């Protein structure tokens, strides 16, 4: 099949084998092009730790509503460093506006996006 890599490849015996690296590259590359990541990269200095990223996310989201939940998980992709961010806002209307304006997706009940962080990141690592 041409086009995007699939999350499964055939192994030597003809069975299906998960290609987690290929899926990770596909998913992260799509999310790093999100408007949320672009706003964070253009409006704030490079993120060196979790607190600086958390403050920036809360600042951007303040235009939509109050952040009531925010989980930041480090995710590396080769030489690049990213964080997977999961959040909730104080109302469904605020979340809908954030999804619409900054193209944040919903995943397992949370809003989700990836954020670039600086190579000198001192926060938790994967």
The predicted-structure confidence for 64-85, as pLDDT tens digits, reads as follows 999 999 999 988 666 678 899 9
- pTM of structure: 0.73
The yes-or-no verdict on residue 53 having pLDDT over 60 is: yes
pLDDT digits (tens, 9 = 90+) for 3-51: 433 333 334 444 444 444 444 444 555 556 789 999 999 989 889 899 9
Which residue ranges make up each domain of the chain?
8-116
Q: Region of 123 please: left (phi>0), alpha (psi -120 to 50) or beta.
A: beta
Q: What is the CATH number of domain 8-116?
A: 3.30.70
Going by the DSSP 8-state scheme, the letter that residue 79 receives in this structure is T
Higher pLDDT: 95 or 43? It is 95
Confidence of residue 92 (pLDDT cuts 50, 70, 90): very high
The beta strand positions in the chain, using DSSP E, are 8-10, 16-18, 67-77, 80-89, 105-107, 110-116
């Amino acid at each position: 099949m041409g086009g995007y890599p699939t999350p499964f490849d055939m192994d030597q015996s003809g069975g299906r084998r998960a290609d987690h690296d290929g899926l990770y590259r596909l998913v992260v590359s799509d999310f790093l092009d999100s408007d949320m990541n672009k706003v964070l990269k253009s409006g704030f200095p490079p993120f060196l730790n979790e607190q600086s990223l958390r403050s920036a996310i809360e600042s951007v989201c303040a235009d939509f509503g109050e952040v009531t939940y925010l989980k930041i998980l480090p995710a590396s992709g080769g030489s690049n460093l990213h964080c997977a961010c999961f959040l909730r806002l104080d109302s469904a209307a605020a979340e809908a506006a954030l999804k619409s304006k900054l193209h944040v997706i919903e995943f397992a009940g949370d809003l989700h996006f990836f954020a670039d962080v600086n190579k000198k990141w001192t926060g938790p690592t994967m």
